[in-house]
Structure 1
Amino acid sequence: MNINISEVANLPSRFGNFNVQSFKEGQKEHLVISAKELSDVPIVRVHSECLTGDAIGSLKCDCRDQLEYGLKMANETGGMVIYLRQEGRDIGLLNKINAYALQDKGFNTVEANHQLGFAADERTYEIVTFILNHYNIKKIKLLTNNPDKINSISDIEIIERVPIVMESNIHNENYLDVKRDEMGHMLPKDR
């Protein structure tokens, strides 16, 4: 893996005062936002970029709520958020918007991706193990509902999966049901 790593900088935010570092993997520049003092077994949120949710506040997903919760937990517990540049489950912004248009016509999130010629989820997580090893982290509590994240992290002991369940709304109920029922995400029936 050919990874370029930035210096560590301060990142004061409304969620806390963090350290920030970038890891460049090919054309993707990932970000690690970490507490100033990492705990021995940090809570780690692996978060994939969602411009429409994270930056604009789209109600079609729960991404922004998950990101904000992850940052809050990182600050409170000595943890980190690994922000992966994998927009739209790694189909890119243009295709994500095309998938949104298909969803407007009645396709669910998985069906829309398939209509565009993609798998339900194109993301990979090898860089996560690289990043955790860079920080010499051997054990984590993983803040996720996604079994693919759990199964893809190697050489790191996940001592606990910490659920991250956000309140649903009328715009994302079906999306969350599809994540649970078709993609295997560990979400409760009642949110």
Structure 2
Amino acid sequence: MRKAPQQARSRVMVERIIAAGRAVLVERGYDAFSTNRVATTAGISPGSLYQYFPDKTAILDIVIDRYWEEVAERVAASLADRIGSFGPAMIRETADALVVALEADRELLRVVSEELPIQRSRDRRAALERRVRELTSTYLMARPDLTRRPSPATTAWVVVLAIENLATRWVLDQPAGIDRDALLDEIVALVGGYLSA
């Protein structure tokens, strides 16, 4: 962003541009994302847009950052709410929270996962994974009786990536014959079996 908006009117304009950027990304995809389309969707001139953002990359970065922050907040809140419990219900509720977070904007998830160049979202996705992994690892260290796995950090890495990838693919693919409950049952079986092995 060129400058941090100080006045309320400027902050509203920045939010309008970001919302338009998100809409263009979802509706048109990464390849058709441009400042002209964002300006048109926001109902402003390209010159007005350039007062706040130097190029399309600056808008895109904020849209992607906010998307992953929203997902991270939902999942971290779910983990924090369940820090005192364990077992199949905790695994299921946490996996369900991730599915819900990813479903909140399925089309943006599709663009971010399948259209963006890998380097564009790698760091942001890694930050989400790291945040959830740290919470999971801390949880496992505080409750060594819950698993026979030798390393809480390694266990957290495996569990977080398995759940994230399964949830992402389920949300994007909507596989026939696998409803939400079936997915969650399988995740509980997978994670529960791994933790007790």
Whether TM exceeds 0.5 here: the answer is no
Q: In proportion to residue count, which structure has more strand?
A: 1
Q: In proportion to residue count, which structure has more helix?
A: 2
Q: What is the TM-score of this pair, normalised by structure 2?
A: 0.31
Relative contact order higher in (CA < 8 Å, ≥ 6 apart): 2
Q: What is the TM-score of this pair, normalised by structure 1?
A: 0.32
* Structure exhibiting the larger radius of gyration computed from Cα positions: 2
